[in-house]
Amino acid sequence: MLPRKLMIDGEQTVMTTRTHVKALLLPLVILFAVAAAGSYLSGVVWDVMWGGRTILRWLVIGLSAALVLVGSVIPFLRWYLWTYTLTNKRLVEQRGILTRSGRVIPLSRINDVAFEKNLNDRILGSGTLVIHDASEQAGLELRDIPHIEDMHRTVTTLVDAAHGADESV
């Protein structure tokens, strides 16, 4: 959600989304695999192989914790903190864990909104929203957006309204 301090006068949040939860499948597999292997190895090291040497057990636990951090926690935080917020005036992309960055596109500058779905996306109900604006930068691709048709319809409606408001002035 876009913090109130970053919103301009008269701006209201229409929708906030992040990429489809399918992006967390590999981190979840890593979490389960490392937890299972770490638990097993820590028990084996403790009970059988080393006769109770605690240093090796803590080494296995530390290595498991580091693998979970790198393979699961950081990807989850990256997914959770990468958001797309659509307001009645602009589209805001925000990302980053320690260093935040983003891109803001006023709706009045958007001149094309399209979406793409491959077979996996159709099965999972997600897709890529491609937005082109009146700048020299490449179009903004919002990948793996859940409920892509709803997002496409909402963005198109707001862009049409923003262009209609510009023409009436």
User: Using one digit for the tens of pLDDT, what is the confidence trace for 75-99?
Assistant: 999 999 999 999 999 999 999 999 9
User: Using one digit for the tens of pLDDT, what is the confidence trace for 8-56?
Assistant: 888 999 999 999 999 999 999 999 999 999 988 887 766 655 555 677 7
Beta bridge partners of 126: 146
- Find out whether 133 and 105 touch, Cβ atoms under 8 Å: yes
- Residue bearing tokens 């859940």: 146
Helices (H) then strands (E): counts for the chain: 5, 7
Q: Where are the domains of the chain?
A: 24-78, 88-168
**Distance (Å, whole) CA 122 – CA 110:** 26
User: Using one digit for the tens of pLDDT, what is the confidence trace for 99-151?
Assistant: 999 888 999 999 999 999 999 999 999 999 999 987 777 778 899 999 999 99
pLDDT of 169 > 80? The answer is no
**Distance (Å, whole) CA 105 – CA 2:** 14
